[in-house]
Amino acid sequence: TQLLEQSPQFLSIQEGENLTVYCNSSSVFSSLQWYRQEPGEGPVLLVTVVTGGEVKKLKRLTFQFGDARKDSSLHITAAQPGDTGLYLCAGQDDYNQGGKLIFGQGTELSVKP
């Protein structure tokens, strides 16, 4: 059974601080996605990474896929209260598994003004 371990589970910081969320596995993933979810809503896709070592930036968010495609990180620079939410990483475990995503447990981020 493939697992994605996400850390930390909870993060409470002040506006303007930087933070990093980690997503680790012992298994290789063909692609990895990061989502943000707000209460009562479905997850919203932020980014997809597919190549080992890939780095993608989305404004103040930087996503990295590990060289071996087993881990990923999300770094937020100068966090703002609007960044508050549940951040989820999700991996597609096998080319043949199609739409099946394996999710990490999530990181609850709270950014205080």
Partner 1 sequence: KAGVTQTPRYLIKTRGQQVTLSCSPISGHRSVSWYQQTPGQGLQFLFEYFSETQRNKGNFPGRFSGRQFSNSRSEMNVSTLELGDSALYLCASSLKRVNNEQFFGPGTRLTVL
Give the footprint of partner 1 on this chain (CB under 8 A): 30-31, 33, 35, 40-45, 48, 50, 88, 90, 92, 95, 97-106
With respect to partner 1, which residue has the nearer C-beta, 82 or 98?
Answer: 98
Q: Which residues contact 82 (CB under 8 A, 6 or more apart)?
A: 111
- C-beta separation of 76 from 18 below 8 A: yes
Q: How far is the CB of 60 from partner 1 (least distance, A)?
A: 21
Q: How far is the CB of 108 from partner 1 (least distance, A)?
A: 11
Tokens representing 24? 């680790």
Q: How far is the CB of 33 from partner 1 (least distance, A)?
A: 7
> DSSP letter string over 3-55?
--EEE-SEEEEETT--EEEEEE-SS--SEEEEEEE-TTS--EEEEEE-STT-E
Q: How far is the CB of 90 from partner 1 (least distance, A)?
A: 8
With respect to partner 1, which residue has the nearer C-beta, 40 or 113?
Answer: 40
With respect to partner 1, which residue has the nearer C-beta, 17 or 41?
Answer: 41
Cβ neighbours, 10 Å, residue 111? 20
